[in-house]
Amino acid sequence: MNPAWITGAAALRERLLSPAQAAPDAPAGALPPYLESFLAHLRLLVGVPFEYLVPDSRLLPEESIRFFYVDRSFTDRLVDGALAVGKVGTREQAHHQAQEPSLRATLDRTERVVRILQRGAAPFAQARQQAAGDAAPAQVTTGFLLRSAAVASWPDMEVRALAREGSGGAVTWQPLTTLRLERLQTSVLVALFDGVPDRVTCEEPHHGVTFGIDRSGANAFRLAVRGPDGSAVTGAPPVAVPFRAGGRGVVAIAELRRRLHAQNVADPARVIAQTGPGAFAVSVLDPPWRQRFEGTGGHPVAPPGGSTRPLTVAARAADPAVRAAVEEVVG
């Protein structure tokens, strides 16, 4: 009889040690992806009713922009509240207590990719990979609320936050990560940034940039001459805009192009060549308006280490017993 090519014991050992079987699977107690994503969104106040953000409408009047810091304690309480669902006994409490430090660190990372998720740019697992490398705890989160008809009319306005680096002549502007940019209502826009910006810009959406001309007289309009990159050519005389006869304000487009071409012939190095509709568009488009917000003033920031204001008991404590008790506590 031929000897067996493999013995039973060797086969069993092989099977039990096969990588597919012995590979460590994810621990059962890991944070489920949906839960993690939900809590990260909650950290950025996604889904929090507007009344909780702005308890009184007079805090955000019409046609106003209000800058703010996000209260981290508030967002931590939101997460605590969410985890209180189904928390019926001490076992759940012990579980939450034990998981809290790692959960907080995880969400500090995951909240940076919420915008990727909101844009639908990447699935959760992939987005989370991006966040995994950056283990730094969450910084100060800032932002603004903008309530204006401009939000309704230009819903795609481009928002950027920049931080100043360096001083004197060597100032550079570093863009901050935008954590959230979303319209809460038709005319209310909320933006959250990772860090404290020194300058925030709101720019007209580029796809909505329009043809713009300057009024040079009661009935006359003119157009600045532009270079190939769209910047205005300094020193070049503006082109008078021709109109069709008939008084309807119809611009004679072909004639305007002929005049722009003449400008190019006169100064081919600096003025854009009229090669086609694209070049024509560049020479007649108004550059997008970029509104800067910088050094808004406002309240002085409390010095680090907390306020040194002495505590006083106000006379507004209505109940004399409460007042006496508080006075006793405060001394």
Query: Which residues have a Cβ under 8 Å from the Cβ of 217 and sit 6 or more positions away?
Result: none
Residue 232 binds another protein (CB under 8 A): no
Amino acid letter for position 33? P
Among residues 225, 203, 229, the alpha carbon closest in space to that of 214 is found at: 225
Residue 58 binds another protein (CB under 8 A): yes
DSSP letter assigned to residue 232: B
Candidate residues 22, 125, 170, 269; the one interacting with another protein per rule CB under 8 A: 22
Neighbours of 83 (CB within 10 A): 18
Residue 156 binds another protein (CB under 8 A): yes
Of 259-278, binders to another protein (CB under 8 A) are 260-262, 265, 274-278
Residue 215 binds another protein (CB under 8 A): yes
Among residues 318, 239, 317, the alpha carbon closest in space to that of 284 is found at: 239
Question: In this complex, which beta carbon is closest to another protein, that of residue 63 or of residue 165?
Answer: 63
Among residues 152, 171, 169, 142, the alpha carbon closest in space to that of 69 is found at: 142
Residue 220 binds another protein (CB under 8 A): yes
Residue 79 binds another protein (CB under 8 A): yes
Question: In this complex, which beta carbon is closest to another protein, that of residue 29 or of residue 168?
Answer: 29
DSSP string, 84-147: TTT--SHHHHHHHHHHHHHHHHHHHHHGGGHHHHHHT-S-HHHHHHHHHT--PPP--EEEEEEE
* Pairing state between β 221-223 and 177-185: unpaired
| Distance (Å) of CA 19 to CA 16, 27, 28 | 9, 17, 20
Residue 107 binds another protein (CB under 8 A): no
Residue 201 CA to residue 159 CA, distance in Å, equals 6
Residue 258 binds another protein (CB under 8 A): yes
Smallest gap from Cβ 166 to another protein, in A, equals 21
Smallest gap from Cβ 49 to another protein, in A, equals 7
Among residues 241, 261, 262, the alpha carbon closest in space to that of 251 is found at: 241
Residue 13 binds another protein (CB under 8 A): yes
Smallest gap from Cβ 241 to another protein, in A, equals 9
Q: Which stretch binds another protein (CB under 8 A): 123-131, 165-173, 231-239, 308-316?
A: 308-316
**What SS3 class is residue 324?**
helix
Smallest gap from Cβ 28 to another protein, in A, equals 3
Of 35-54, binders to another protein (CB under 8 A) are 35, 38, 42, 45, 47-49, 52-54
Candidate residues 2, 5, 16, 133; the one interacting with another protein per rule CB under 8 A: 16
DSSP letter assigned to residue 78: H
Smallest gap from Cβ 171 to another protein, in A, equals 18
Residue 322 binds another protein (CB under 8 A): yes
Phi/psi at 305 (5° precision): 100, 0
Candidate residues 85, 125, 135, 269; the one interacting with another protein per rule CB under 8 A: 85
Candidate residues 2, 5, 20, 29; the one interacting with another protein per rule CB under 8 A: 29
Furthest C-alpha separation in the chain: 113
Token couple for 30:
């890991």
Token couple for 206:
């580029």
Smallest gap from Cβ 169 to another protein, in A, equals 23
Residue 257 binds another protein (CB under 8 A): yes
Residue 289 binds another protein (CB under 8 A): yes
Q: Kindly state the number of chain residues that form the binding site for another protein, as judged by CB under 8 A.
A: 168
